[in-house]
Amino acid sequence: MEKFPIERERNGTTMLLCVKCSMAITLLDCKKPSAEEREKFEEEGKQFADSWVKLLNEPEACRLYCSLYSSSKCGCIQSYVNGTLALTRKRKNSHSISESGQSDASETVSVNTEPSEQSEPSDRMKYLVSLLKQSQAIKEKLQKKRSFTDEEVNSFNKSLDQFVLSNRVKLMNLGICERGCQRVLCYSNNFLRKKTASYSQARLQKTKLATRLANCIDLQELHKMKCCEKECCLVTANSLDKLKEWREQSQVSQNDMWKVIAEMFGSKCEFYLQ
């Protein structure tokens, strides 16, 4: 198979590299920020949110900023409101997730109208504030559960689950990260991992092989997608044969699938992709 060089920009210079050198440079560039840099970015986010609190006269807007800073600054909420969120941040493979997340939620939960790309920053912020208020309103009703019957409490629990799960998918489609979704919809990591009996679609559903393959991304288009700061998808352009082998092997059995996952996430992944 013909090997294609990978383009990397570093210090204003465009380089043509192999897979190993490209991944090595990516790891070098992913430096952890210092505590001072994190605090500075956190303060910038608070100032951004406070400015919108004054403009919209909405005290709830003080939560609406993203302070995630791992190897690079996120600030997805700030970028979304200002209209500078890169199109590559939008999840191109989220259609399969949204089918299960929004089907049942639309029956009982009112869905807000999503602002268009030409909307003003104030409209985008008002959209996030409305989601935040709705989530807080449902939670306040749950906190007063002593005055409700068990059936009413279960109904509120179901409404909260459906509201969060459906709107979380919408926000991620806009390019907002998990931390940003948590700030807008007021949920925790425990909420995502709990086994809720009130929302059956949150669990994995058994599907046929043909259906799973139809929802898979075309491997030849995978290198065009944006995945993370390491840009792992770029290396797939030179490893289509191995990716096809992994995909076919994962469909054989559960044990073979775990073997594929071990190879993909193991320390020898670069060796397999050569």
**Model pTM?**
0.58
Q: Cα(210)–Cα(264) distance, rounded to whole angstroms?
A: 23
Task: Determine the pLDDT at residue 259.
Answer: 86
User: What pLDDT tens digit does each residue of the chain (274 aa) get?
Assistant: 445 567 776 666 777 777 667 766 666 666 677 888 889 999 999 999 999 999 999 999 999 999 888 777 888 999 999 888 754 455 443 433 343 344 344 433 344 677 877 788 899 999 999 999 998 888 887 776 655 555 555 565 777 778 888 898 889 888 888 899 999 998 887 777 764 444 455 444 566 666 666 777 788 887 777 666 566 777 777 778 888 888 888 888 878 888 888 887 766 665 556 5
Per the CB < 8 A criterion, the answer to whether 59 and 145 are in contact is no
Q: Cα(218)–Cα(67) distance, rounded to whole angstroms?
A: 34
Beta-carbon neighbour count of residue 162 at 10 Å? 24
Q: Which of 247, 175, 238 is nearest to 216 (CA)?
A: 247
Q: Which amino acid is residue 235, in one-letter code?
A: V
Strands 13-17 and 6-10: antiparallel
- The token duo for 76 is 């997805």
Q: Which residues contact 121 (CB under 8 A, 6 or more apart)?
A: 81, 82, 83
Strand-pairing partners, residue 10, are 13
